[in-house]
């Protein structure tokens, strides 16, 4: 990296920190409302886990996975989703920019458009997903460490799995939002590419039919971030490659998503005459 590029990168990081701290200060004007609603959402939003909890409390396992093991899958996926929404909330709400024609104001800034979008909002309230996931992870780890299924070294790999999952959610989110440059309305597409697939990734992929499993591994690879490494860490199959593949897929996916975003940008035309 040349000295100029390095200086520019440092400048971007400083600017990002400044803009984000302003966004956080604005949200903290209503501290009580923020804290109570985030905590309550963390509790209430854990519906999927509550369903799994109720089901596994009564029937013990799903495809051989117990509640702690499913909890591990759930927590990695939820934390990844929460971090994606926290950092890239405006990318997720990108449809509005295109519909209202607000994207013009992003383009006139002297910074990459994805950077400008990311720095416009730091969605602290989305940390409710992270809190949910972290709580489930603590419970699951306690059970799995006590029974000797997991070792402390596995915790490090789980943290890495969260990073890869966050990148994968970001890649899917950016690629889906890039479609707005062409088709404008993407809300329904997001339900398909993000909501349905993220829900699917909460459970072991072997419960699904082959077409759905393949979609979650090769087309919208959200299952690669959590299922592949967690399966190996729990001794349910695979090799050390299960820990390496998610990193490769996540990085390639991000590169592909950014390429799609740039391609989409070339198709952008503003609203109005």
Residues that bind another protein (CB under 8 A): 33, 36-37, 40-41, 44-45, 47, 50-51, 54-59, 61-63, 185, 187-189, 191-192, 195-196, 199-200, 203, 207-209, 212
167 or 230: CB nearest another protein:
230
Q: 76 with 230: CB under 8 angstroms?
A: yes
57 or 240: CB nearest another protein:
57
CB of 66 to another protein, least distance (A): 12
Q: 82 with 133: CB under 8 angstroms?
A: yes
Q: 240 with 157: CB under 8 angstroms?
A: no
Q: 157 with 226: CB under 8 angstroms?
A: no
CB of 191 to another protein, least distance (A): 4
66 or 113: CB nearest another protein:
66
CB of 47 to another protein, least distance (A): 6
Nearest 5°: CA angle at 100, between 96 and 101? 110
15 or 62: CB nearest another protein:
62
21 or 195: CB nearest another protein:
195
Using DSSP, state whether 88 is helix, strand or coil: coil
Give the CA distances from residue 135 to residues 29, 71, 147, in Å, rounded to whole numbers and listed in that order.
27, 10, 19
CB of 35 to another protein, least distance (A): 12
CB of 166 to another protein, least distance (A): 22
CB of 63 to another protein, least distance (A): 5
126 or 245: CB nearest another protein:
126
Using DSSP, state whether 220 is helix, strand or coil: coil
> Six-digit token pair at 194?
């993000």
Residue 27: which residues within 8 A CB-CB, separation 6 or more?
34, 124, 125
């Amino acid at each position: 990296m040349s000295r100029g590029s390095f200086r520019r990168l440092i400048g971007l990081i400083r600017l990002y920190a400044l803009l984000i701290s302003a966004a956080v200060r604005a949200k903290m004007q209503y501290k009580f409302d923020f804290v109570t609603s985030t905590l309550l959402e963390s509790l209430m939003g854990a519906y999927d886990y509550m369903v799994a909890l109720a089901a596994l409390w009564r029937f013990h396992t799903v495809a051989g996975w117990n509640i702690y093991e499913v909890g591990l899958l759930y927590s990695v996926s939820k934390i990844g989703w929460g971090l994606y929404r926290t950092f890239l909330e405006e990318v997720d709400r990108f449809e509005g920019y295109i519909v209202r024609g607000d994207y013009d104001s992003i383009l006139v800034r002297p910074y990459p458009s994805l950077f400008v979008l990311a720095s416009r909002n730091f969605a602290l309230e989305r940390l409710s997903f992270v809190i949910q996931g972290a709580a489930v992870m603590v419970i699951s780890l306690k059970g799995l460490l006590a029974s000797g299924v997991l070792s402390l070294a596995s915790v490090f790999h789980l943290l890495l799995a969260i990073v890869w999952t966050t990148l994968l959610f970001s890649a899917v989110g950016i690629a889906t939002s890039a479609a707005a440059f062409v088709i404008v309305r993407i809300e329904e597409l997001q339900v398909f590419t993000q909501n349905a697939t993220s829900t699917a990734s909460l459970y072991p992929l072997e419960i699904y039919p082959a077409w759905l499993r393949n979609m979650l591994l090769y087309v919208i690879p959200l299952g690669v971030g959590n299922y592949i490494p967690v399966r190996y860490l729990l001794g349910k199959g695979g090799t050390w490659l299960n820990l390496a593949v998610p990193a490769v897929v996540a990085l390639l996916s991000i590169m592909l998503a950014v390429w799609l975003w740039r391609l989409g940008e070339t198709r952008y035309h503003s609203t109005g005459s």
